[in-house]
């Protein structure tokens, strides 16, 4: 298996530009000898500040979301063209907060993903079930559906620029973490879906991250699982020491 580990930090709606700059500088230093693939996704307002500070390093610049249209009368939105102008390399789509708090539907997420790919971005597609869905035994079905919808209309060659992040909604920011076994089972089922759609080789190469209260204390057990290839880190990505500990597990 030749997949690499990919550790991403989603800063969500935290950090002023000065605070973001401090964190970016610290991470550049602390991760410079790291052997995995890394990303940070600051708020839109800090992208222009953070970009130059990590430019030329082993840390990619990510955006937390993107508008569904290229440009136009879309008040409060940020377009692919604007993100490209800021040096963003990767865009996160379908994060559970976008799905559940802001009511983004699968078809919209698919449209965003395809637009981002068209403009040359790498895309992290987030999927995951709620606590109710898990307790009803629907976790795999929900994640499979979100994966199928998210990748609708894409060919096998598109997968080179796609990462999937499995984020059980009930584990995000709650301190609860899926057990490594539970997480790996969902990752394996997602990989099976990819195999059905695009073939075994494509499924084997796809990076699937886990997101949901990843911490320095649990990262090793999660990453030891066969189908878990990295982490999409929320709260623990806001401090250089905790993110670096996860990133260099």
Number of domains within the chain? 1
Residue at 169 is within a domain? yes
Rounded-to-integer distance, Cα 224 and Cα 165, Å: 16
Q: Is residue 95 annotated as a catalytic residue, yes or no?
A: yes
Q: Which among 36, 95, 133, 140 is annotated as catalytic?
A: 95
Residue at 226 is within a domain? yes
Rounded-to-integer distance, Cα 140 and Cα 189, Å: 7
Per-chain mean pLDDT for the chain: 96
Number of DSSP helices (H) and strands (E) in the chain, helices first = 11, 8
Look at residue 2 in the predicted model and tell me its pLDDT. Answer: 72
Overall residue count recorded for the chain in this entry: 249
Residue at 1 is within a domain? no
Prediction pTM value: 0.97
Rounded-to-integer distance, Cα 138 and Cα 49, Å: 42
What CATH number does residue 44 fall under? 3.20.20.70
Q: Which among 97, 122, 167, 187 is annotated as catalytic?
A: 167
Decide if 96 contacts 136 (C-beta within 8 A): no
Look at residue 1 in the predicted model and tell me its pLDDT. Answer: 55
pLDDT band at 131 (very low <50, low <70, confident <90, very high): very high
Look at residue 72 in the predicted model and tell me its pLDDT. Answer: 97
Closest CA to 228 of 41, 31, 36, 32: 36
Residue at 112 is within a domain? yes
Residue 18 is part of which domain span? 6-247
Closest CA to 127 of 68, 175, 189, 69: 189
Residue at 121 is within a domain? yes
- What pLDDT, in 10s, does the model give residues 5-43? 999 999 999 999 999 999 999 999 999 999 999 999 999
Residue at 239 is within a domain? yes
Decide if 80 contacts 67 (C-beta within 8 A): yes
With a cut of 80, say whether residue 213 has pLDDT above it: yes
Strand residue runs (E) in 18-85: 37-41, 59-63
């Amino acid at each position: 298996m030749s997949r690499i580990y990919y550790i991403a930090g989603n800063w969500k709606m935290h950090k002023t530009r000065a605070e973001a700059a401090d964190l970016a500088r610290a991470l550049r230093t602390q991760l410079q000898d790291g052997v995995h693939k890394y990303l940070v996704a600051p708020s839109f307002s800090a992208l222009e500040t953070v970009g130059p500070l990590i430019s030329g390093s082993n840390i990619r610049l990510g955006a937390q979301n993107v508008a569904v249209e290229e440009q136009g009368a879309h008040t409060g939105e940020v377009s692919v063209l604007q993100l490209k102008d800021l040096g963003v390399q990767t865009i996160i789509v379908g994060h559970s907060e976008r799905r559940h708090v802001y009511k983004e539907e699968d078809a919209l997420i698919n449209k965003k993903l395809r637009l981002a790919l068209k403009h040359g971005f790498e895309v992290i597609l987030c999927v995951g079930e709620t606590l109710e869905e898990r307790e009803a035994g629907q976790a795999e079905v929900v994640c499979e559906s979100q994966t199928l919808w998210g990748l609708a209309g894409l060919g096998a060659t598109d997968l080179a620029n796609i990462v999937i992040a499995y984020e059980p909604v009930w584990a995000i920011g709650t301190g609860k973490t899926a057990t490594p076994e539970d997480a790996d089972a969902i990752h394996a089922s997602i990989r099976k879906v990819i195999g059905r759609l695009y073939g075994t080789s494509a499924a084997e190469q796809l990076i699937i991250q886990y997101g949901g209260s990843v911490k320095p204390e649990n990262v090793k057990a999660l990453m030891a699982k066969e189908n878990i290839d990295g982490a999409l880190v929320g709260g623990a990505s806001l401090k250089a020491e905790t993110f670096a500990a996860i990133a260099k597990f």
